[in-house]
Structure 1
């Protein structure tokens, strides 16, 4: 294997991802500051600025612990599933990165996610139900997808975006329940105008935060699918796994910590067509189509021959 690692995960992709990360964080931060100013004028702006700094710092250094703790994930010891650890070791070696820690989520809903600020501080979590419906070939495709997120530096921005978006939504809820009284403004004498402005923030802020997340989250999934398919050398296996996981999520939705739903390989939440418009994941049929096309063009055969 060439020392450069998996194709498509070079500096060009990382630079593009870094640019998207900067834009997303800037947008979410600006939105948080706007909400703070609307809630309490200059005092609210200072409070929001302090909160953003704390959230960014905490998300950067403790993103993996936060995400894992929210789902009650437990370390998966080597003796419990040696074959799974060996699979991750092989994929990590192919990707040219350290082997991430493995965790188990105590739920029968089949799914998986990766977290951590960089490849040296990464973790991959799988649910107890995923091994019940996927064969080893399909599971390797899923793990390759998650390692691709780590390699492409997607995991950090995913956690930071979830944290800031959650804070913005919470601030809007505070505005609804308290009417801005906690950080009341001294310079706003127009009670009706202030109330209407607060109502506008209440309605727009959570939607805007979600749309900012969507701008990056959906493209990240396509990128991880492509990189993961190259990494495992089997685009069709990953496509098959996505179809099974989507069906599993429909039958057994998993709604613990909804703010982190975009971290999973498939959306763990159930929803209809309208909710699909606000899904942090691209449509499964489109992801499968791209993977099938990748396999049809000999991507998997070329990768296997390189590893023969």
Structure 2
């Protein structure tokens, strides 16, 4: 198993499972509601099929899309021997297949992992992070990203996004359907109900997805820290990355924000926060790593 040597967190796993269940219930409830309210249930089936199709395409092409968005290129062991060497050691330690390795020519220090499966994954770092972190800190960041690969987080987040995609499609279909039946006054309540339900489902799905994303980052921090046994190195890396982002030109930050949700730290620190944030607060991440450091430093026996 690719995940056999990454430590599991039953509490975080339970919370992520509950969040996934709620998102799935939203998707099913939306489809059932449309089928029961609209005279032609075929519309709900079309919404469900198209939503699943779009989610599948996002999952299938996730590595290509993310690499293009971050202006990244795949590098060989000859081009980046130290980077490949670190990933080789971590993959052996984690007992997982080695992903492809990419480098993005961006000044903003960051890293991300994506791909539809561990065999099709890519771990990418920016040139900014290579210049910012020392070897131990970079290794800690790579362990975090490899945890995302091993736990198939891209698949998890893609499946979880289906409810929001379906809600957006339903709203569009309702608007176009309403325009086509504008002379029929009885169609107005159907359109209004569809739009209102879609907005509510989309809003709830948006917040649940952000919650799941924050859990995902905390879990990867924890798994990576236990894999390397150097939580302090990851804490130092997170602080350096966040500090450098504050002085990085806005031009580079905007370029790096294309795949911000995938990155170890969001590119634009002044963006969404609180319930709408894709990443947990830096302080929360540092506190978790400090607890792990204290636990690892405790004498045994």
Identify the TM-score tier after normalising by the shorter chain. 0.7 to 0.9
**CA pair 289-61 structure 1, distance change in 2 beyond 3 A:** same
2:213 counterpart residue number:
217
**CA pair 265-40 structure 1, distance change in 2 beyond 3 A:** farther
CA distance in structure 1 between the aligned counterparts of 2:219 and 2:68, rounded to whole angstroms: 27
Q: Which moved more, 1:80-89 or 1:12-21?
A: 12-21
Deviations 1:124-144 (A, max 9, x none): 111221112211111111001
The secondary structure found in structure 2 opposite 1:297 is helix
CA distance in structure 2 between the aligned counterparts of 1:83 and 1:206, rounded to whole angstroms: 44
Query: Structure 1 residue 280 and structure 2 residue 278: aligned?
Result: yes
Which structure 2 residues correspond to residues 41-190 of structure 1 after superposition, within 5 A? 42-161=41-160, 164=162, 167-168=165-166, 171=169, 174=172, 178=175, 180-181=177-178, 189=186
**CA pair 84-43 structure 1, distance change in 2 beyond 3 A:** same
**Deviation, structure 1 residue 21:** 7.8
Deviations 1:231-255 (A, max 9, x none): 1221011011111222333444644
Q: Which moved more, 1:148-157 or 1:243-252?
A: 243-252
**CA pair 114-159 structure 1, distance change in 2 beyond 3 A:** farther
Deviations 1:247-303 (A, max 9, x none): 33344464459685322111223336x63330021111010111012112225999x
Deviations 1:142-163 (A, max 9, x none): 001001111222232234445x
Residue 226 (structure 1) aligned to one of 215, 222, 225: 222
The answer to whether the 8 Å contact 1:233/1:300 transfers is no
Residue 289 (structure 1) aligned to one of 264, 287, 290: 287
**Deviation, structure 1 residue 69:** 3.2
Q: Which moved more, 1:29-38 or 1:254-263?
A: 29-38
CA distance in structure 2 between the aligned counterparts of 1:104 and 1:35, rounded to whole angstroms: 46
Residue 197 (structure 1) aligned to one of 184, 193, 196: 193
The answer to whether the 8 Å contact 2:12/2:215 transfers is no
The answer to whether the 8 Å contact 1:28/1:165 transfers is yes
Q: Note the aligned Cα RMSD (angstroms).
A: 3.8
Q: TM-score scaled to structure 2, two decimals?
A: 0.79
1:8 counterpart residue number:
8
Q: Which moved more, 1:76-85 or 1:291-300?
A: 291-300
CA distance in structure 1 between the aligned counterparts of 2:239 and 2:216, rounded to whole angstroms: 19
> How many residues were matched structurally?
294
Which structure 2 residues correspond to residues 18-37 of structure 1 after superposition, within 5 A? 19=17, 23=21, 26-27=24-25, 29-30=27-28, 33=31
The answer to whether the 8 Å contact 2:38/2:190 transfers is no
The secondary structure found in structure 2 opposite 1:269 is coil
The answer to whether the 8 Å contact 1:5/1:94 transfers is yes
CA distance in structure 2 between the aligned counterparts of 1:145 and 1:45, rounded to whole angstroms: 39
Unaligned runs of 5+ in 1: 303-308
